[in-house]
Amino acid sequence: MFGDTSTGTETTPAPTWAHHDWREIDRTLRTIARRRAALDAEEARWLREADGIEIWRQLGMVSVLDYMERVLGYAPRAAQERLRVARALEHLGEVGDALSRGELSFSAVRELTRVATPSTQRAWIGAARGKNLRDVEELVAGHRPGDRPDDPKSPEVRPRLVRFELAPETYAKLRQARSVLEAEHGRYLDDNELVAAMCSAVLDGPSHGRARHQIALTLCEQCRQGWQYGAGAAIPVGAAAVERAECDAQHVGSIDADAPERAHHDVPPSVARLVWRRDGGRCRVPGCRSSRALEIHHLVRRADGGSHDPANLALVCASCHQAHHDGRLRISGTADCIEVQRPGDQPGENVELAVADAVAAFGKDPDEREPASRSGARENGGLRWYVRPRGRESARA
């Protein structure tokens, strides 16, 4: 039996924190944070010294980063950031002093050194004081070195690095999903295309005759900067993503208006339904067999006078559509004859794929194609061939 045998009751030692007032705990933690910031500032100063005299050579190491990993215990990425900040603080004395006094944490200083210069550092220190790391990141985002905190932001469209830790069985599913999607597209998918295709499989519902994109977008008249919303976050996107979305959009008007506007489609729903049925619910790009994440593409750009006529529209998958607007793929021609060119293609290189696509669509053997004198004849790399226009069969919704 445990406890006080004289009373027959058990006793439990009081936790150590019960002996301290919350104010004392708070003061202690704040003191530790200030000391840690001061140590970070001191370490940065000595890192500059070590970098200047190439201390790693005296120890048989290959670089200052190697020294930081082996001796100071930093991971490669953390070592790179620590060294970058140390070098920046050589020219940002006031930021370094704020770190030494514990007014700013190392994490905040790390962000400020991305944009602060000797002439703007005081303004950035004042703007960052009292803010948490997330607030400082938002403050710095969209600014370039030399900007002041109150200068207009220039949203930077950049790839986002995402890391997942998966269980073995989930990793196996990921590999299998990649295999299925690559077989469907008929080619290797890079990481961005793979994740986009998987997201589309979850987010896209049947969209026969309806636009896939709803745009509530304010575009800068000079640069046409756009933002895409994801779970409450506004993510800057490039001009290619905006242009792709505008191919088949449902406009809902200004989100700043006092009253909602009547939504309208660029491509009339009746035309979209016709294109979906006519193209058989699959990507029209030769070699791609995807039937997921399909979007309507204007073969002649609207900016170049292209219309919403069905002859100028074709179904393409999101991956091929984005590649076209990124300039990695050229999709042109007419709905009866899709012409595709990839970077580095020589004239005639895509003819076999184009003819194969035509045969699949129209059931016509290339050896039985119509004479080249017909109006539907095409010439590519010296080979003239004809694709019969699609039939006029009706389709029920």
Cα 106 to Cα 111: distance, rounded to the nearest angstrom: 9
User: pTM score > 0.85 for this model?
Assistant: no
CB 321 within 8 A of CB 218: no
Q: Which residues contact 131 (CB under 8 A, 6 or more apart)?
A: 108, 139
Q: What are phi and psi of 187, to 5 degrees?
A: -165, 170
Bridge partners, residue 249, by sequence: 213
CB 327 within 8 A of CB 361: no
Q: What are phi and psi of 255, to 5 degrees?
A: -80, -5
pLDDT lower than 70: segments of the chain: 1-19, 155-159, 203-224, 227-235, 238, 240-242, 245-246, 249-257, 263-264, 343-397
pLDDT at 205: 54
Bridge partners, residue 235, by sequence: 228
User: How crowded is residue 82: how many other Cβ atoms within 10 Å of its Cβ?
Assistant: 20
User: How crowded is residue 219: how many other Cβ atoms within 10 Å of its Cβ?
Assistant: 14
pLDDT at 390: 41
Q: Which domains does the chain have, with CATH numbers?
A: 20-140 (1.10.10), 168-386 (no CATH)
Tell me the Cα Rg of the chain: 31
Torsion of CA 230, 235, 239, 245, to 10 degrees: 10
pLDDT at 94: 96
Our measurement of the distance from residue 275's CA atom to the centroid of its chain's CA atoms, rounded to an integer in Å, reads: 29
Segment holding 251, helix H or strand E: strand 249-251
pLDDT at 317: 84
pLDDT at 2: 47
Cα 344 to Cα 10: distance, rounded to the nearest angstrom: 82
CB 112 within 8 A of CB 128: yes
Torsion of CA 254, 256, 260, 265, to 10 degrees: 10
What is the 3-class SS of 253-296, one letter each residue? Answer: CCCCCCCCCCCEECCCHHHHHHHHHHCCCCCCCCCCCCCCCEEE
pLDDT at 72: 94
Cα 397 to Cα 208: distance, rounded to the nearest angstrom: 9
pLDDT at 103: 94
